Amino acid sequence: MRACGYALLTTATPRAAADQPASHVPAAAAAPPRPRACLAGTRPQPESPGAGCYSSRADYHAPVPHCSARAADTPSAGTAEFEPQFPDLESWVNGFFVIAFARPASQIRWGSSWWDHPETVLRLDALWRTCEAAQLDPVRGVAVWIRDFLEPNLAVLFSPAGPFADCGDGTHVRGSVLPVAPTPPRWWSASHWCDLLADPDR
């Protein structure tokens, strides 16, 4: 039995294909293997190798649920079934993000009520979806995800001027809303913009 470390990608082999010679494998069982992601502190289920991943950091008791989706066709592998490791954003944040990317509280801004900060939800949702999709590239997927998606968003999320700027010492402040003013009449009309382009100094 092989344990999965951070960002190692494993391939689940259909049981029928493992138990029978290739010539006797039914057409349905001979489909391309399904890629699975084993992220921080996860490993395949002992009773059924490749059937799932365990999420607990110490005893691996809690199985990570999977949901089904279809990956786009690729010239080399055809149509493969893609199963995200985490079924929703909250599961990914609580079961992976806050464990893998923890920082000393004195060095970052973070709030336990992250779900009440709209910008945080938007950024974390983008990170979760791209993290799941990164497993489709077993060689560079996670590395590209860290460089292009994770690190830029961590810099904003943990910044003293980020969405948790007003949170600290166990307090939760949702944050202010940017001020807006109503637009003048006809501002969005084509005639207004034609006049403005014709005479930008008016």
Rg of the chain in Å (alpha carbons):
24
Each residue's pLDDT tens digit, 58-115: 433 333 333 334 444 444 445 567 789 999 999 999 999 999 999 998 899 999 999 9
Q: How far is CA 86 from the centre of its chain?
A: 9
- What is the distance between the alpha carbons of residues 118 and 127, in angstroms, rounded to a whole number? 14
Residue 199 has pLDDT above 90, yes or no: no
Q: How confident is the model at residue 202 (pLDDT cuts 50, 70, 90)?
A: low
Residue 200 has pLDDT above 90, yes or no: no
SS (H, E, C) 122-160: HHHHHHHHHHHHHHHCCCCHHHHHHHHHHHHHHHHHCCC
- What is the distance between the alpha carbons of residues 16 and 140, in angstroms, rounded to a whole number? 30
- Residue 35, H or E segment: strand 34-38
Whole-model pTM: value is 0.57
Each residue's pLDDT tens digit, 20-42: 444 444 444 444 444 444 344 44
